[in-house]
Amino acid sequence: MTCARIALRALRLWVGLFLVVAPAAARTWFVSAAAAPGGDGTDWHRAVPSLAAALAVARAGDAIWVRTGTCELDDTVRLPPGIALYGGFAGTESSPDARRAINFAHETVLRLRRADASVVELSDAHDVRLDGFTITGASGRPGVALRRCPPTVVLANCRIARNTAPEAGAGLQISDHSRPLLRNVQLVDNHATGSAGGGGLFIDATSGVDWSDGVINGNIADGPRGGGAVIQSSAALSVRLLRCDFYFNESGASGSALDVTGVLELRDSVICSNLARRAAPGLPLTVQGETSRVILSGGSFIVGNLSDRAAPRFSSAIEGKERCELRDEAIVSEKESGPAELTLFTQRNDLHTVMPDILPPPLTGGEPAPGRWVRQTLPTRAGTSAYHCVYLPSDWRPGETYPLLVGFPGNGPFRSRFGDRSGGLPEDNPMGIGVSGGRGFVVLGLGYLDSRKNLAPTGTWWGDVQATIAYTKEAVRSMCDRYGADPARVVLFGFSRSAIGASFIGLHDDTIAPLWRALLCYDGWESPADMTRDWYRHGQTSYNYDPADFDGAGAAQRFQRLAGRPLFILGGRGAVETLNAGPRFPVELLGKTHRNHNVSWALRDTPERAAVRAWLARVLATPAL
């Protein structure tokens, strides 16, 4: 046999062997509760009607996509290693990134019909992703149970709600050396009955979690501790919660939000309006054990938690506070914890009783792209500290045009007894992303520039008025030239300081006022009396301006520059009714139903957001004036 024939035979043998041992290509299986029988699950038109049917054929590396709707389950969902299970599809998407599950806009529900079982149970799982589901209906066992799950197990964009169990972690139980990753997960209205704690979450002493962007809200523990969560992790800093907020959780005695034995780092998170039923003073955070430690860092704060029993006027918010460390700008408000002011808990006219359905993306650098919130500096301001933020909608395409939402932030850092917060910088007003739902609009976040600090945005009041106006005009032009923003459909929006600033900056002169098609303001508008008050501290935080702006008549002069364009004010309205008595411009006023002073109404399915969206649709559909 010649060398050539030997080589050819060897090659054929190798190819045949490869065909035998090479893994099959990863596949996607499609599920729709409304699908007709007989489908094979290979695309949306041939979707199978049950999740169980897809799980029966899926293999490691495969993905299962589930359309919006409710999957009624007869048994617990158990994912084999290597499976990615995605919900939240409208049924037209070609990738998970195209769906809106992260915004809970298309809800896919996994609901268990049997008792004494978890809805989802992952044991000895790895390389598994559960993404885009509302998980509910467990009775007698935790809604989701994770056992022996490494960090390659990811829960993302999930809401675990209304599960009941006579054991710790009625919503989510993490145990047996598990270390999952959680991203944008909500634990809502779960109930640990009997003497159990951890109405929403339980982490045992062998486990931990890395969790960012969480809501732990309205969970109940009938036992004495841990209405929101019981954490027993013993490994150093094995539990890290970033931007995880605890509201309206309830326990019997103490630790109404959190009961910690072990080590926990809580960063940029809020503990507010939790109720300890029989505790005086109603401690929301309990730290037990001599070796335990809780680190509150970033902008974390504890405020406004309650007890239904009388308490000292000034009382600690933490039991075991000697084992709690505050870093950065973290605050524990002693005087806002107890005594009982139960109407704050029972009336629930609070935004945080409505779960957010939109998660603004994190601020990044680099070039803008669909769905990203990007920090930029105008080329003409290179070398300065000035910057703005750009959001391109998730449905953005080159060559198309989009309306533009332009917003400034409120004063900051700001915190209130109701857990409201504002950072005061260009990235700290997500109102535009919330109102638009992240689609159909380009969003531009701006700041008030301080020329004494190399044009850095200032957290309070107006900065250098002329520098801010110049940057605003150039940034709007840039959005139109580079990203398809339509100069005939530019809407200026603002919150608190920037609601007043919509007039003071946005209508300041005849060069900037014509930019706007309409103005949208939340909790504020100018008043001639306000502009002359000392608390504006004009000489310290505003300069390069005309003193006549603050003589009491400036607000009326600026209002005339509205020139008949639509104005929508939600909440505080300043002197707008008086100012508009003569001109009769198209001004719409809407009172807010909540007690809060923050923009999170735009991130939730609230009546306010619905009204603003309807107004935007009307004013952008009519020809410009």
Q: What is the pLDDT of residues 570-600, one digit of tens each?
A: 998 889 999 999 999 999 999 998 989 999 9
How confident is the model over 608-620, as a mean pLDDT?
96
Say how many C-beta atoms besides its own lie within 10 A of residue 44's C-beta.
Answer: 19
Specify the pLDDT at position 624: 67
Residue 22 above 50 pLDDT?
no
Residue 154 above 70 pLDDT?
yes
**Residue 428 and residue 422: Cα distance in Å, rounded?**
6
Specify the pLDDT at position 310: 54
Please check whether residue 151 lies inside any domain of the structure: no
Residue 10 above 70 pLDDT?
no
Residue ranges making up the domain that contains 452: 363-621
pTM comes to: 0.90
**Residue 583 and residue 47: Cα distance in Å, rounded?**
59
What is the pLDDT confidence band of residue 610, given thresholds at 50, 70 and 90?
very high
Residue 473 above 90 pLDDT?
yes
What is the pLDDT confidence band of residue 347, given thresholds at 50, 70 and 90?
low
What is the pLDDT confidence band of residue 131, given thresholds at 50, 70 and 90?
very high
How confident is the model over 456-478, as a mean pLDDT?
96
Please check whether residue 372 lies inside any domain of the structure: yes
Least confident of 5-9, 143-147, 240-244, 306-310: 5-9
Please check whether residue 175 lies inside any domain of the structure: no
How confident is the model over 102-129, as a mean pLDDT?
90
Specify the pLDDT at position 199: 95
Least confident of 114-128, 177-191, 222-236, 259-273: 222-236
- 276: helix, coil or strand? strand
What CATH number is associated with residue 471? Answer: 3.40.50.1820
**Residue 270 and residue 247: Cα distance in Å, rounded?**
8
CA proximity to 410, closest of 287, 317, 493: 493
Please check whether residue 275 lies inside any domain of the structure: no
Q: How many CA atoms lie within 13 A of 265 on its CB side?
A: 17
What is the pLDDT confidence band of residue 260, given thresholds at 50, 70 and 90?
very high
Q: Could you identify the residue written with the tokens 């309990």?
A: 286
Please check whether residue 494 lies inside any domain of the structure: yes
Least confident of 40-54, 85-99, 268-282, 324-338: 324-338
Say how many C-beta atoms besides its own lie within 10 A of residue 125's C-beta.
Answer: 23
Least confident of 221-230, 465-474, 480-489: 221-230
How confident is the model over 64-80, as a mean pLDDT?
93
Q: Tokens for 132, please give them.
A: 């885009």
What is the pLDDT confidence band of residue 38, given thresholds at 50, 70 and 90?
confident
Specify the pLDDT at position 269: 96
Q: Which residue has the higher pLDDT, 458 or 236?
A: 458
The string of pLDDT tens digits covering residues 271-325 is 998 988 876 666 899 999 888 999 999 999 998 888 776 554 445 688 888 999 9
Specify the pLDDT at position 407: 98
Question: What percentage of residues in the chain have a pLDDT greater than 90?
Answer: 70
**Contact by Cβ (8 Å): 211, 153:** no
How confident is the model over 135-144, as a mean pLDDT?
96
Specify the pLDDT at position 24: 58
3-state secondary structure 180-191: CEEEEEEEECCE
Residue 340 above 60 pLDDT?
no
- Average pLDDT value over all residues in the chain: 89
What is the pLDDT confidence band of residue 26, given thresholds at 50, 70 and 90?
confident
Q: How many CA atoms lie within 13 A of 308 on its CB side?
A: 12
Please check whether residue 322 lies inside any domain of the structure: no
Phi-psi category of 569—alpha, beta or left, where left has phi over 0 and alpha has psi -120 to 50? beta
Please check whether residue 573 lies inside any domain of the structure: yes
Specify the pLDDT at position 130: 97
**Contact by Cβ (8 Å): 454, 385:** yes
Specify the pLDDT at position 235: 63
Least confident of 7-11, 111-115, 136-140, 541-545: 7-11
How confident is the model over 606-610, as a mean pLDDT?
95
Residue 122 above 80 pLDDT?
yes
Please check whether residue 389 lies inside any domain of the structure: yes
Least confident of 137-146, 204-213, 446-455, 527-536: 527-536
Q: How many domains does the chain have?
A: 1
CA angle 515, 521, 522 (to 5 degrees): 160
Instruction: Tell me the CA distances in angstroms from 571 to 41, 408, 430, 524, 568, one per residue in order.
Output: 50, 17, 17, 7, 10
**Residue 332 and residue 317: Cα distance in Å, rounded?**
7
Specify the pLDDT at position 19: 37
